[in-house]
Amino acid sequence: MTPTTRTTVGIGGAAESTDMVLNIGPQHPSTHGVLRLKLVLDGERIVRAEPVIGYMHRGAEKLFEARDYRQIIVLANRHDWLSAFSNELGVVIAVERMLGMEVPERAVWTRTLLAELNRVLNHLMFLGSYPLELGGITPVFYAFREREVLQNVMEEVSGGRMHYMFNRVGGLKEDLPAGWSARARAAVAAVRSRMDVFDDLVLGNEIFRGRTRGVGALTPEAVHAYGVSGPIARASGVDFDLRRDEPYLAYGDLQDTLKVAIRSEGDCLARFEVLLEQTHNALDLADACLDRLAELPPGPINQRLPKVLKAPEGHTYAWTENPLGINGYYLVSKGEKTPYRLKLRSASYNNIQVLTELLPGTLVADMVAILGSMFFVVGDIDK
């Protein structure tokens, strides 16, 4: 009888302990720009996560040093392309503080109004795109419909659809067009009347809730450690909003209308709920600003500036509650017409760092749900 040889074929013991490295991006559709995530996996579970940034870096801070105080506005409003008006605002506030300049009351209220309309535009994009990343295509169509309604009034007043270039040192480019306030009020009312789409269609969807509840919970300790701000921080119970806690523009007079949305769960669902609640409140704030503007007597919308604008020697720091979180502007002047240094602290840069702590331990299937709920723009990270 011929002897039989038995051979066992399989992977070696060493291979079982070998980690798999998975690159997500840098063109993954869920990243809102060109971001790369380097994941180390143990089966279906993420062991380590490293955001790799810089693919959209354009050296904005260095370019600021070669532009005068009027020209830097056009650079500063582009890093977060969903919040252009708010980006401009931080720069002009910093320069005005350096100059000790008082802005006309009409400009203050108009800036506050446009900042809140810009906040709604930003949030609507994420309210529509986040369900899309989880497989729900319908909400994004509603979101773009509402965005178009508000974009029309923003375009009418500024001439721009994304990069408004409407702020100026000392105020705004020009006064509001005749009849614009009535059209803006109608636009706000139209958007508010249809916001139940997101309240019911998205939050009422059991699949959406199943994919987001308890997923990607962010602790308050991690929020503080990484400098996370905005809706993401408030969804983890960190009760801080510059508009209430250190008012600028007209927010000091809007405290009765301003409601800061807070959740304690810190998961994906809580972040979405905070964003949605903040959108409702921004519409209320816009109405309050329109009411106040209707009461103001006619007056200037800006200050007359010298032909060559020079900030006095010194430094200042201005920060604003942008739609995605806190933006900070550290301005250093040597008394020239260009900044010696303008350091930009963008919200998304800090918010995305926390992924190194948030993703490990979660499943790959939940990675897109967590990533989308961080509500970031890659240009805001790379600058």
CATH number at residue 173: 1.10.645.10
Residues present in the chain in total = 383
CB under 8 Å, gap of 24 or more: what pairs does 245-250 form? 246/319, 248/93, 248/320, 249/89, 249/108, 249/111, 249/112, 249/115, 250/108, 250/109, 250/111, 250/112, 250/289, 250/292
- Reply yes or no on whether the pLDDT at 90 is more than 60: yes
Would 163 be classed as within a structural domain? yes
Q: pLDDT by residue (tens digit) across 225-274?
A: 999 999 999 999 999 999 999 999 999 999 999 999 999 999 999 999 99
- Is-above-0.75 flag for pTM? yes
The predicted model gives 43-64 an average pLDDT of: 89
Residue 46, token pair as written in the block: 């993420």
Would 249 be classed as within a structural domain? yes
Could you tell me what percent of the chain has a pLDDT over 70? 94
Q: What is the pLDDT of residue 236?
A: 95
- Reply yes or no on whether the pLDDT at 33 is more than 80: no
Q: What is the pLDDT of residue 5?
A: 55
Determine if residue 43 is left, alpha or beta; phi over 0 gives left, psi from -120 to 50 gives alpha, anything else beta: left
Q: In this structure, are strands 171-172 and 45-52 parallel, antiparallel, or unpaired?
A: unpaired
Domain count, the chain: 2
Residue 199, token pair as written in the block: 């309240």
Q: Mean pLDDT in the chain? A: 90
Burial of 337 (0-12, 13-18, 19+ CB in 10 A): middle
- Reply yes or no on whether the pLDDT at 354 is more than 90: yes
The predicted model gives 69-73 an average pLDDT of: 91
Q: pLDDT by residue (tens digit) across 267-322?
A: 999 999 999 999 999 999 999 999 999 999 989 999 998 889 999 999 999 999 99
Contact 84, 77 (CB under 8 A): yes
Q: pLDDT by residue (tens digit) across 165-208?
A: 999 999 999 999 999 999 999 999 999 999 988 988 899 899 99
Chain position carrying tokens 């961080």: 374
- Reply yes or no on whether the pLDDT at 8 is more than 60: no
Q: Look up the domain containing 358 and give its range.
A: 60-381
Q: Hey, is 197 helix, strand or coil?
A: helix
Q: Which residues pair with 171 in a beta bridge?
A: 168
CA distance 342 to 8: 66
pLDDT band at 31; cut points 50, 70, 90? low
307 and 259 inside one domain: yes
127 and 181 inside one domain: yes
Would 8 be classed as within a structural domain? no
278 and 231 inside one domain: yes
Q: What is the pLDDT of residue 161?
A: 85
Q: What is the pLDDT of residue 4?
A: 59
47 and 78 inside one domain: no
Contact 258, 248 (CB under 8 A): no
Would 231 be classed as within a structural domain? yes
